[in-house]
Amino acid sequence: MSTADAVLGDIPALEGTLPSVLIITAPYYKAVVNGMADGARAVLDRIEAEHETVEIAGAYELPQALRIAAAAERFDAFIVIGCVVKGETDHYDFICRAAMDGILKVALEHKLCLGTALLTVDTLAQAEARSGAEHNKGAEAAIAMLKQVALVHHLGRI
């Protein structure tokens, strides 16, 4: 099933205080990443959650930045946003695997509420189709993160 067929879903009702969220962007493809970041911020603004956005160099640095941010213990939840477009070499495969594996490892180690919008696409057109007003992976990542926050509020921090 394509995510184009998926329903964005509703913003979950949150028990307790609203989360403070850090959005970490890797704007190598600036227009695409900014579009997804705008989508994530729009979701957070709808519930009036505090949020801050920082930029880093690229997708490969996302796990490192997430770990630094988690260790700072200033935020309740995180969204990582980036885009890798396939080129002519194996570089794409290495960057995508390292970034995604690293992001998951940090999230599991630090028990993070995390939304991930790291596009790994064949063409820039595919990325653009996932970062606009009609279909936005940044908004999806924000809702996914909020569902994790709702779960933590319901179960308690583990």
Give the active site residue among 51, 91, 135, 153: 91
Query: Residue 99 annotated as binding?
Result: no
Query: Residue 83 annotated as binding?
Result: yes
Query: Residue 88 annotated as binding?
Result: yes
Contacts 24+ apart (CB under 8 A), 86-90: 86/120, 86/121, 86/122, 86/123
Burial 72-96 (b: 16+ CB within 10 A, else e): eeebbbbbbbbbbbeeeeeebeebb
- Our answer to whether residue 154 is catalytic in this structure is no
Query: Residue 121 annotated as binding?
Result: no
Query: Residue 85 annotated as binding?
Result: yes
Annotated binding site for (2S)-2-hydroxy-3-oxobutyl phosphate: 88-89, 130
Annotated binding site: 28, 59-61, 83-85, 88-89, 130
> What residues are annotated to the active site?
91
